[in-house]
Amino acid sequence: MHHARAASEGPPPVIVVFEGCETARVQELRRLLQVELGPRFLKEPTEQTRRIHVRCDNGVASVTIDRQPTREVDLRQVKPEVADRVLTLAMVEQLNQLPLPRPDTPKTKPRTPKPATSPAPPSDHVAPPNPSSSSRLALVGALREWPTSTWTLGGAVRLTHGGRPLGLLIEGGAARGSERVGPGAVTLLTVDGRVGAVLSGHVERTEFFAVAGIRGGLGYLQGAPTSLESGMAGRSVAGGWGGPTIGVGCGLGARPGVSLELEGGYSPWAVRGQVAPENWLSIGGIWAGTNLTLGWQL
């Protein structure tokens, strides 16, 4: 009896629940905690177990022990090969600073049953990340093909805001291209923007997303003859264009992050110019493009 009481007054066993952490990180943290805590580290909870809750979010780990204040461990500036070790030592240090629980006393009243609640997930369960509001600013390189097989190359600035799985995208930029048609050459210039809804999800470290929205702006066509002997005069035309657009893509990283998107759309309003009796160029109609972005999560 004396031996059993002494054991109950020692450091209590520990169980750890992970949320939003990658599977590889969870496995390494469990291994390191097993080394640091020995037999105190349990896989199943008991009445005297202390519960450590670890939530991972964009390189910051929040550690909560029972009902104690949460401590944040910022791993964004820590080398990846030692990040798990640093987080483990922080958990053990926070655990050792807590006072030992008082020994159990005889209960004189029966315990009142509590309402049924969903059980806590086991320690090796990796919960998906909670939706968290975040913003991302990115530079975009855009390559587009218009209905007349004319290409434009340009750049834009993109701002996305919102958590997973839904967010908002706002983008604005300009593009330029040129095409030689018959006896003349045409320069294309467009200043446009896009507003859309973003649906995104993660598989391991890769983000997959889809964007549905509207793209439109101002288009300008400037024609010029390739030689004075052609007898043609250069003219220009400008106007608005726009319509629905949809894009799909994938990306890696957040600070910084890169992504590749395939985008296409249809513009019922178009800027059209006649180069010769049988040749037309236009900004509008059915078009397709590729967007390469370099961004930073704010």
**Largest Cα–Cα distance in the chain?**
113
Measured between its terminal Cα atoms, the distance across the chain in Å is: 59
3-class secondary structure, 157? strand
Domains, the chain, ranges and CATH? 9-103 (3.30.160), 135-297 (2.40.160.20)
**From the centroid of its chain, how far is CA 123?**
26
List residues bridging with 281 in a β-sheet.
273
**What per-residue confidence (pLDDT) applies to 227?**
65
CA 298, CA 296: separation in Å to the nearest integer? 6
pTM score of the predicted model: 0.53
pLDDT by 10-residue block (mean), the chain, 298 residues? 46 86 89 86 75 88 86 88 90 83 56 63 48 76 84 91 84 90 79 94 88 95 71 77 95 88 92 70 88 89
User: What are the start-end ranges of the H helices in 72-172?
Assistant: 80-96
Per-residue burial over 193-217, b = 16 or more CB atoms within 10 Å of its CB, e = otherwise:
bbebebebeeeeeebebebebebbb
**What per-residue confidence (pLDDT) applies to 191?**
95
